[in-house]
Amino acid sequence: MRHSLPIAPQFYVTAPQPCPYLPGRMERKLFTALQGEHADKLNNSLSKQGFRRSQNVLYRPSCSDCAACMSARIDVNAFRMSKSQKRTAKRNLHLRRRASSAWASEEQYELFRTYLDARHADGGMADMDVFDFAAMVEETPIRSRVIEYTVKETRALEAVCLTDVLEDGLSMVYSFYTPDAPARSLGTYMILDHIKIAQEAGLPYVYLGYWVPGSAKMGYKASFSGLEIYRQGRWETFKAPDAYSADTHPLSTDPIAEQVANISLPDLRCP
pTM above 0.85, yes or no: yes
The pLDDT, as a whole number, for residue 2 is 41
Side-by-side strand order, sheet with 29-33: 11-13, 29-33, 57-61, 52-54
Can you give the pLDDT at residue 178? 96
More confident residue, 146 or 219: 146
3-state class (DSSP) for residue 143: coil
Overall average pLDDT of the 21-46 stretch: 93
What Å distances lie between residue 231 and 61, 145, 192, 212, 261, CA to CA? 12, 28, 24, 12, 17
Measured CA to CA, the distance from residue 166 to residue 45 in angstroms comes to: 10
Residue 232 has pLDDT above 50, yes or no: yes
- Can you tell me the mean pLDDT for 161-166? 98
| Percent of all residues in the chain with a pLDDT value above 70, rounded to a whole number | 94
- What value does the mean pLDDT take over residues 105-119? 93
pLDDT at 250: 73
Across the range 182-206, mean pLDDT stands at 97
Instruction: Parse the chain into domains and list their residue ranges.
Output: 11-69+246-261, 73-243
Cβ atoms within 10 A of the Cβ of 58, count?
22
Q: Which residues are paired to 18 by β-bridges?
A: 26
Euclidean distance between CA atoms 230 and 212, whole angstroms? 12
Are the C-beta atoms of residues 205 and 169 closer than 8 Å to each other? Answer: yes
- Tell me what the mean pLDDT of segment 249-261 comes to: 83
Q: Which pLDDT does position 269 carry in this prediction?
A: 67
Say which CATH topology domain 73-243 has: Aminopeptidase (3.40.630)
Amino acid, single-letter form, for residue 252: S
